[in-house]
Amino acid sequence: LSFFLGYFVFRRETFTFRIIITMLLVVPGVIMIASAN
């Protein structure tokens, strides 16, 4: 059970990390497009 819980937490952490990376890549592009207009 603890292995499953640790696996779930690891998966969730990886998912959260992926979202943070995506936001760091997308947000500057959106700001540049908004400031260009």
**Which domain, by its residues, includes 8?**
1-36
Alpha helices in the chain (DSSP H): 2-36
Predicted TM-score of the model (pTM):
0.50
pLDDT in single tens digits along all 37 residues of the chain: 678 877 877 777 778 888 889 999 999 999 999 999 8
The predicted pLDDT at position 24 comes to 94
Q: Residue 13: exposed, middle, or buried by beta-carbon count in 10 A (0-12, 13-18, 19+)?
A: exposed
The predicted pLDDT at position 17 comes to 85
Distance CA 29, CA 2 (A): 41
Distance CA 34, CA 25 (A): 15
The predicted pLDDT at position 30 comes to 93
The predicted pLDDT at position 31 comes to 93
Number of domains in the chain: 1
